[in-house]
């Protein structure tokens, strides 16, 4: 089936020889290029969903039980979602191809094929559902009990691996610092990175401003981090406390970007150092902290292509849809410097109306050059210890806490999860992930100040 997908849906990019002298035609050609890249990404997601479903079905053929039925149902939902996304981008492609009737016709034909395959898959999953419905009740999946909220001290609560902080989310420049200082007086120094999930939600730019990155003396990372160790004297291990939009959650991200922020983003060369804080800026890193693939245009400019097929981001790329770039893996201690190919950083950039870039200067560095310029970043000698706090709700909001607990389990799983459209940490690192979720622990002498009521979700 994967081969059929490749033959049916992969379209060749628009030729640069297509005559389009008018500015409107050039802009439309750029949109068509983007749509084609999105098609390729969505097609890959369908392939991945089908392969994962096939693995689940192979096990179910050997022994069908409640747990496998639950996995089959989830696999069916993800395959259908992947087909739906592919149909959607084919529609966008057809809308972007008005000057190329042949391509518009091919996109319309592909939409019909997708609709037919989606219908066949729905019948396929209905047949499995009928087999699962015939199982005796004892073979159906057990319902696991949610954790019981446990008091720590001063209103802090532990919910499974989560820390619950019942106060308003931090805002403003380095706004999380007062909260993190209070936590450091009450909880053990146990985390390398702390994710603060703001509920009921927080603007992404505001979350970035409130986040913290501490200098911890790791060689090879480039410029010092914004905050010196003296800002957090009680905790000596924490490298970053990153505020995230709780409404998006860990699965949709940008939780992968949050982990990269602890170490990456500080090695851009000073003569090409126009990148904003926390991102790569105009560079062809094409990873979690932004950047894009830079393709030469006919007029000497560079045309940026985002790794996920949409518009390129210069401080981040598409939540949890993009794997870490080789440079990011190196700076996170997950790859050797020879894994980093040449990376270009641009200075004096003029971005045209069509999105193409003209740069006054281009600086190119590879892994060896990064080591020579900034020193070598050693490989990580232990897993990254991750803490996750939900800020803005109390222990009684177990529906919200359960949503985050389940999302954390999928994000930090020691293998691929079942979501074909998003990446967890294992997938984003290409299997190199060394991530340990560490629950909060109260310091000795820190006692609960009030009982936590027992609640039922």
Q: What is the pLDDT of residue 331?
A: 96
**Residue 5: per-residue pLDDT:** 40
Q: Which residues contact 166 (CB under 8 A, 6 or more apart)?
A: 155, 157, 392, 393, 394, 395
pLDDT tens, position by position, for the chain (457 residues)?
Answer: 433 343 333 333 333 344 445 665 666 666 666 666 667 677 777 777 777 777 777 777 767 777 777 777 777 777 777 777 777 777 777 766 666 676 667 777 777 777 777 777 787 878 877 877 777 665 554 556 788 899 998 889 999 999 999 999 999 999 999 999 999 999 999 999 999 999 988 888 899 999 999 999 999 999 999 999 999 999 999 999 999 998 888 988 899 999 999 999 899 888 886 656 678 888 999 899 988 888 888 788 888 887 776 677 777 887 888 899 999 999 999 999 999 999 999 988 888 887 888 888 999 999 999 999 999 999 999 999 999 999 999 988 999 999 999 999 989 988 887 777 788 999 999 998 889 999 999 998 877 665 444 333 3
Residue 452: the pLDDT is 45
- Please report the pLDDT score of residue 85 as a whole number: 75
Task: Tell me the whole-structure pTM to 2 decimals.
Answer: 0.71
Question: What's residue 12's pLDDT?
Answer: 36
pLDDT for 98 equals 66
Residue 256's pLDDT is 95
């Amino acid at each position: 089936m994967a081969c059929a997908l490749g033959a049916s849906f992969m379209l060749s990019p628009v030729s640069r020889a297509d005559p389009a002298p008018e500015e409107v035609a050039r802009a439309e050609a750029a949109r068509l290029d983007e749509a084609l890249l999105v098609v390729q990404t969505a097609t890959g997601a369908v392939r991945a969903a089908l392969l994962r479903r096939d693995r689940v079905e192979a096990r179910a053929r050997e022994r069908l039980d409640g747990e496998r039925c639950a996995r089959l149902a989830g696999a069916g939902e993800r395959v259908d979602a992947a087909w739906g996304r592919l149909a959607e981008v084919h529609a966008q492609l057809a809308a972007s191809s008005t000057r190329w009737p042949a391509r518009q016709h091919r996109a319309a034909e592909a939409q019909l094929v997708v609709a037919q395959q989606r219908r066949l898959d729905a019948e396929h999953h209905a047949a499995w559902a009928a087999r699962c419905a015939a199982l005796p009740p004892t073979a159906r999946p057990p319902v696991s009990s949610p954790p019981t909220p446990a008091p720590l001290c001063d209103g802090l609560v532990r919910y499974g691996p989560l820390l619950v902080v019942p106060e308003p989310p931090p805002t403003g420049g380095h706004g999380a610092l007062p909260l993190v200082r209070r936590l450091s007086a009450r909880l053990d120094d146990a985390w390398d990175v702390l994710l603060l999930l703001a509920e009921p939600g927080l603007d992404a730019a505001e979350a970035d401003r409130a986040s913290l990155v501490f200098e911890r003396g790791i060689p090879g990372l480039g410029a010092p981090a914004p905050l010196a160790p003296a800002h957090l004297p009680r905790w000596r291990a924490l490298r970053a406390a990153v505020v995230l939009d709780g409404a998006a959650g860990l699965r949709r991200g940008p939780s992968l970007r949050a982990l990269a922020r602890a170490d990456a983003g500080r090695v851009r060369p000073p003569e090409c150092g126009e990148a904003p804080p926390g991102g790569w800026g105009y560079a062809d890193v094409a990873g979690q902290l932004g950047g894009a693939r830079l393709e030469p245009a006919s007029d000497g400019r560079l045309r940026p292509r985002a790794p996920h097929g949409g518009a390129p981001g210069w401080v981040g790329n598409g939540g949890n849809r993009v794997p870490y770039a080789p440079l990011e893996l190196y700076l996170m201690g997950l790859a050797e410097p020879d894994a980093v190919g040449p990376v270009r950083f641009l200075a004096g950039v003029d971005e045209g109306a069509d999105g193409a870039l003209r740069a006054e200067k281009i600086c190119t560095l590879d892994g060896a050059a990064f080591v020579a310029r900034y020193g070598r970043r050693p490989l990580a000698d232990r897993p990254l210890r991750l803490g996750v706090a939900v800020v803005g709700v109390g222990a009684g909001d177990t529906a919200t806490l359960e949503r985050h607990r389940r999302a954390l389990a999928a994000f930090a799983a020691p293998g691929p999860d079942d979501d074909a459209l998003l990446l967890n940490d294992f997938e984003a690192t290409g299997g190199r992930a060394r991530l340990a979720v560490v629950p909060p622990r109260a310091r000795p002498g820190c006692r609960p100040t009030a009982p936590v009521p027992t609640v039922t979700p």
